[in-house]
Amino acid sequence: MELLKTTITILSVEEKTTKNGKTMFKIKGSDNKSYQLWQSKQDGTDSMAYIAFSSIPKMGVGKSFDISYREEQGEYGGKTIIYRTIANAIPVKQEEDEIETAQSKVTGEDEKWKEIRNEKRDDIKWMNAINNASLIISKKIDSFAEYSIEDAKKDVKELANWYYKLEPYFINDDLPDELDKAIANIPF
């Protein structure tokens, strides 16, 4: 029997089981024709067409396939009908789908690395804030005998929080007035 070829987009797939227990899928194509697809060949192994369709989520609904099929006339309910049995199927635009998948993976990895970089940047920003605050407090602590370690820790933490909230400034004159007030409130 001669195989016919066409390209269809799968509109729907309905699974059916025959009286003898074989699984068949009724496929509605974009050409408004119905096709049947048998899960297994006569030897019991999965058919090539079934393997192609089942490898795509939802049995390929919404995807386009180049199909090879054969037509046979039969009787159903007293009427003559045409059975279209899919023998082979190849997804159309498979390469484009793979490229899209690869691009989405790269985008996902880019987002992951962007998040990691931002976390590292925040960690570095915090460490710089603590370092700057510690330097300011340590220079003052030597000249003030009654200044306790607990007070120094509290002041370093407060000052570091101020530094952390700021965008990077490289010249002390550019620091906001609020930070200058925080430094001025340290009891030295």
pLDDT at 134 over 80: no
Per the domain annotation, does 95 fall within a domain? no
Same domain, 157 and 126: yes
**25 vs 139, higher pLDDT:** 25
**In which domain, by residue range, is 135 found?**
101-184
pLDDT at 103 over 60: no
Q: State both tokens at 74.
A: 């039969």
Q: Check residue 169 and give its pLDDT.
A: 47
Whether the CB-CB separation of 61 and 52 falls below 8 Å is answered with no
Residue among 85, 82, 95, 20 nearest 50 (CA):
85
Same domain, 106 and 78: no
* Structure confidence at residue 143 as a pLDDT band (50, 70, 90): low
Whole-number Å distance between alpha carbons of 2 and 12:
26
Per the domain annotation, does 150 fall within a domain? yes
Q: Check residue 171 and give its pLDDT.
A: 47
Per the domain annotation, does 173 fall within a domain? yes
